[in-house]
Structure 1
Amino acid sequence: MTDAPDNTAQLASPSYRLAALDQDFLLGDSMRGVRFLLEFAKADEALRRWGVRSTIVVFGSARVREDGPPERARWYAEARRLGRIVSERGGAKHQNGDKVRDNVIATGGGPGLMEAANRGAFEVGAPSIGFNITLPHEQVPNPYCTPELTFRFHYFAMRKMHLAMRANALVVFPGGFGTFDELFEILTLRQTDKAPPIPIVLFDEAYWRSIINFEALVEHGMIAASDLELVHFADDAEAVWDKLVDCGLKLPTGV
């Protein structure tokens, strides 16, 4: 009677790996939908654990620096100031008996004006969220996002969903393609009533008027005149907060 062959080959076969531990399988094309679900569930679970019920989303250029030219330095300073104001007055620090947090600052988690908003929240002891994205070039989170609320996404679509789904308001500082992408994503959701009414405030009216001719879209019949009411402008952090409140920002009871 001959000895049976050993099972080394079977144990080493990729097919024998537990599916949940098989990176080759999980990163394959057929599992794209599963990966999409995982990116939703992981962030959603963490946000629920922290009691984050709503956010105020702040977009803006990653290229703006605190020590940059005067105009850009002012944008940074005002985004930082806004992070403080929102966190102190909006309910991010407040916890009721259910430990619910409202109007928590949420950004793309990167440098520049996103960093400034997260930094303002950090300076007053409030949590803030960073929804970072993996890019071909180096992209790392800024050091002011709450570590447990700093996420990394592969899919832009899922990142956008998390940015939008809890947003009580959107504040957009000057920026480029990425900022435009996020702004028009939310504007489209509002225009089509796929998202509930929220204040949308653009910081530095002169900048935005020089970049986008909103009225021309009406003149050419591309949007309705009433669509212009979706957008508001403010030129300093305090004015942004006033505009948010005037436009119906939802504030928790007791704040």
Structure 2
Amino acid sequence: MDDPDSNAAQLASPSYRLPALDQDFLLGDSMRGVRFQLEFAKAEEVLRAWGIRTTLVVFGSARVREDGPGRHADWYAEARRFGKLASLRGGAMRDVGQVRDNVIATGGGPGIMEAANRGAADVGAPSIGFNITLPHEQEPNGWSTPGLTFRFHYFAMRKMHLAMRANGLVVFPGGFGTFDELFELLTLRQTDKAPPIPVVLVDETYWRTVIDFDAMVSHGLVSPSDLSLFRFADTAESAWQSLIDCCLKPHPPSDYVPVP
């Protein structure tokens, strides 16, 4: 017979758990809004602690490899070079405690994302990886700064963090995921829901092959002026110059030297 003076059942009851330590409760449907808020707050707190004021977001295919076929190797090399020169020239190379600008930010995975993070790491600059939990688990690449490598459950919150500090967007060739991110940012720009940041598409031949932008205009689905929301570039250097031409403000360190 149970001891009538024992409170073991009460102590073991799920209702007695502290809410902040009750995983069953926190992962329930009613707490979805709280989880959404936590995904915002955690990354925000870390980015502020690192002094990161603005970023340069780099999108592109996760399937691109450094030794891949066709243009893959070229795309990887240019994304890596862009991560390097943007980090040197943009303002990411600040001392601890100083404000950092134009820090490379990617989706944190392989391919183009890895290349851009790797370019930043080549020169000792911090870079961000905004990873997402997927059915086929995406692991972070080995080049984003460990303390700036995040994981999100909600695509919407991940996209918000990618967009909210962005000073510019550089998009390398990619598939559905890259298109999703690109057109979301273009829509925000088109509707004035985002500030007028420059958007650069790298490898004009690829982009004009896969998307007929002029056809959208001829069918009356976008305005001719909407095509001014982005520019094309073919190299890391020309992508950087396009950002500068579109009023990106670089913040190079005092000992800056040109990229070799």
TM-score bucket (shorter structure): over 0.9
TM-score by length of 1: 0.96
Q: Relative to structure 2, which stretch is displaced further, 154-163 or 5-14?
A: 5-14
Which residue of structure 1 aligns with residue 207 of structure 2? 208
Q: SS of the residue aligned with 1:171?
A: strand
Q: C-alpha distance in 2, partners of 1:45/1:104?
A: 16
CA shift digits 1:64-96 (9 cap, x unpaired): 000111411000000000000100000000349
Deviation at 1:138, TM superposition (A): 2.0
Q: Which amino acid aligns with 2:31?
A: M
Distance change in 2, residues 1:224/1:62 (3 Å) = same
User: Are the counterparts in 1 of residues 198 and 246 from structure 2 also a CA contact under 8 Å?
Assistant: yes
Deviation at 1:250, TM superposition (A): 2.4
Which residue of structure 1 aligns with residue 56 of structure 2? 56
Which residue of structure 2 aligns with residue 114 of structure 1? 113
CA shift digits 1:179-212 (9 cap, x unpaired): 0000001000000000000110000000000011
Q: Which amino acid aligns with 1:61?
A: S
Matched, 1:31 2:31: yes
Q: C-alpha distance in 1, partners of 2:189/2:95?
A: 29
Q: C-alpha distance in 1, partners of 2:7/2:219?
A: 72
Q: C-alpha distance in 2, partners of 1:154/1:224?
A: 35
Deviation at 1:253, TM superposition (A): 7.9
Which residue of structure 1 aligns with residue 258 of structure 2? none
Q: C-alpha distance in 2, partners of 1:232/1:56?
A: 15
Q: Which amino acid aligns with 1:20?
A: A
Which residue of structure 2 aligns with residue 150 of structure 1? 149
Which residue of structure 1 aligns with residue 230 of structure 2? 231
Q: C-alpha distance in 1, partners of 2:94/2:13?
A: 53
- Superposed, 1:1-255 pairs within 5 Å as 4-95=4-95, 99-252=98-251
Q: Which amino acid aligns with 1:130?
A: G
Q: Which amino acid aligns with 1:122?
A: A
Q: C-alpha distance in 2, partners of 1:133/1:11?
A: 36
Distance change in 2, residues 1:254/1:65 (3 Å) = closer
Q: C-alpha distance in 1, partners of 2:209/2:58?
A: 21
Question: What stretches of structure 2 of length at least 5 have no aligned partner?
Answer: 255-260
Q: C-alpha distance in 2, partners of 1:254/1:68?
A: 35
Consecutive aligned runs of 4 or more in structure 1 exceeding 6 Å deviation: none
Which residue of structure 1 aligns with residue 257 of structure 2? none
- Taking only the aligned residue pairs, the percentage that are identical comes to 74
Deviation at 1:254, TM superposition (A): 6.5
User: Are the counterparts in 1 of residues 93 and 253 from structure 2 also a CA contact under 8 Å?
Assistant: no
TM-score by length of 2: 0.94
- How many corresponding residue pairs? 252
Q: C-alpha distance in 2, partners of 1:45/1:99?
A: 16
